[in-house]
């Protein structure tokens, strides 16, 4: 169970980074 929760947090972090990159690209354009 602990491993699953850890993975979920990792995916959330990746998702936030992904959104941040998209925002950065939008600002660049």
In the chain, what is the straight-line distance between the N-terminal and C-terminal CA atoms, in Å? 43
Quick check: 29 pLDDT over 60? no
Write down the mean pLDDT value for the chain. Answer: 80
Distance CA 3, CA 9 (A): 10
More confident residue, 6 or 11: 11
Per-domain residue ranges of the chain: 1-29
* CA distances from residue 7 to 15, 16, 26 in whole angstroms, order as listed: 12, 14, 29
11-28 residue pLDDT tens = 899 999 999 988 888 776
Distance CA 29, CA 24 (A): 9
| pLDDT score at 13 | 92
């Amino acid at each position: 169970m602990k491993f699953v929760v850890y993975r979920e947090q990792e995916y959330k972090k990746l998702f936030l980074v992904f959104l941040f990159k998209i925002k950065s690209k939008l600002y660049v354009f």
